[in-house]
Amino acid sequence: MNQEACATGWTTPRNGERTVTTDDDNALVARFLRGENSAFDTLFCRYQDYVYNILYGIIGSQEEARDLTQDVFVQVYRSLPKFRYGSRFATWLYRIAVNRGVDAARSSKRWRFLPIFDEPAFAQTPADSETEPESVFERRLETETVQKILQLCSLNHREALVLRYYQNLSLEEIAETLNCTAAAAKVRLFRARKAFKDQYVAQFGSDALCVAKEGK
């Protein structure tokens, strides 16, 4: 349908990478509301990885995150006529994704287990795997540990951490997504980082301090 537009949308968002301009998104939204479904296709391709990362960070399961990503876009598809351009499309989308992720995490809190060690959730860098297999292994182990620790944090903290580190949003953008003031977002992020650090120490025990020394 819109392969050309999609071709640029499949990379996983990287730290520091910004998406697209608000005007561009709004133009696509307007085109979709005029009946051009290909415009929605472009938005989908552009943002699916971002939405997936939010949901994966909150839920901790790849399969569930994939499923929820599709649900989020179904909701967006149906709700777009109500979009009033009061905020950026991306912020609006992230808010829906966060709410959906939190709802799902709450509903499955009692029975859900953490399958992160069973799934190859993290991509390996081919070059590293040949030259430095040990460091790659350590890195993968660490990223898996990060995901596990994230799941041990409260949902409030998880939201803030995912938006800050997985989405690389600014404090203002986090505040807008979480519908709070920038000051409140800052406090929440501070507490979240502290909670993550405490869980990190709890996870690694005395090794955490050694790792930290080496890391420094």
Using CB under 8 A as the binding rule, whether residue 94 contacts another protein is answered as: no
83 binds another protein (CB under 8 A): no
The reply on whether position 123 binds another protein by CB under 8 A is: yes
Residues touching another protein, count (CB under 8 A): 63
- Rounded to a whole number of angstroms, the minimum distance from the CB of residue 203 to another protein is 11
- 5, 13, 87, 99: residue in contact with another protein (rule CB under 8 A): 13
Question: Phi and psi (nearest 5°) for 2?
Answer: -145, 50
Q: Which two tokens stand for residue 197?
A: 């650090």
Q: Which of 16, 166, 89, 51 is CA-nearest to residue 158? A: 166
Question: Three-state DSSP class for 138?
Answer: helix
How far apart are alpha carbons 93 and 87 in whole angstroms? 10
Describe the crossing of helices 62-79 and 89-107 by its angle, rounded to 10 degrees.
130
Q: CA 16 to CA 14: how far, in whole Å? A: 6
Binds another protein (CB under 8 A): choice among 88, 95, 112, 139? 139
**CB nearer to another protein: pick between 33 and 85:** 33
Binding mask 35-64 for another protein (x = CB under 8 A): xxxx--x--xx--xx--xx--xx----x--
Question: Does position 193 bind another protein by CB under 8 A?
Answer: yes
The rounded distance, in Å, linking the Cα atoms of 149 and 33 is 41
Instruction: Tell me if 205 contacts another protein by CB under 8 A.
Output: no
Listed ranges 18-26, 95-103, 105-113, 135-143: which one lies at the site for another protein (CB under 8 A): 135-143
Rounded to the nearest 10 degrees, the angle between the axes of helix 89-107 and helix 37-59 is 40
In whole angstroms, give the CA distance from residue 104 to residue 159.
13
When asked if residue 97 is in the footprint of another protein (CB under 8 A), the reply is no
| Angstrom distances, CA of residue 10 to CA of 6, 35, 50 | 7, 25, 10
Q: Which is nearer to another protein, 6 or 102 (CB)?
A: 6
Distance of CA 215 to the CA centre of its chain: 25
Q: Which residue lies nearer to another protein by CB, 15 or 111?
A: 15
| Interface with another protein (CB under 8 A) | 1-2, 6, 10-15, 34-38, 41, 44-45, 48-49, 52-53, 56-57, 62, 65-67, 69-71, 73-74, 77-78, 120-123, 139-140, 142-143, 145-147, 161, 165-166, 168, 190, 193-194, 196-197, 200-201, 208-209, 211-213, 215-216
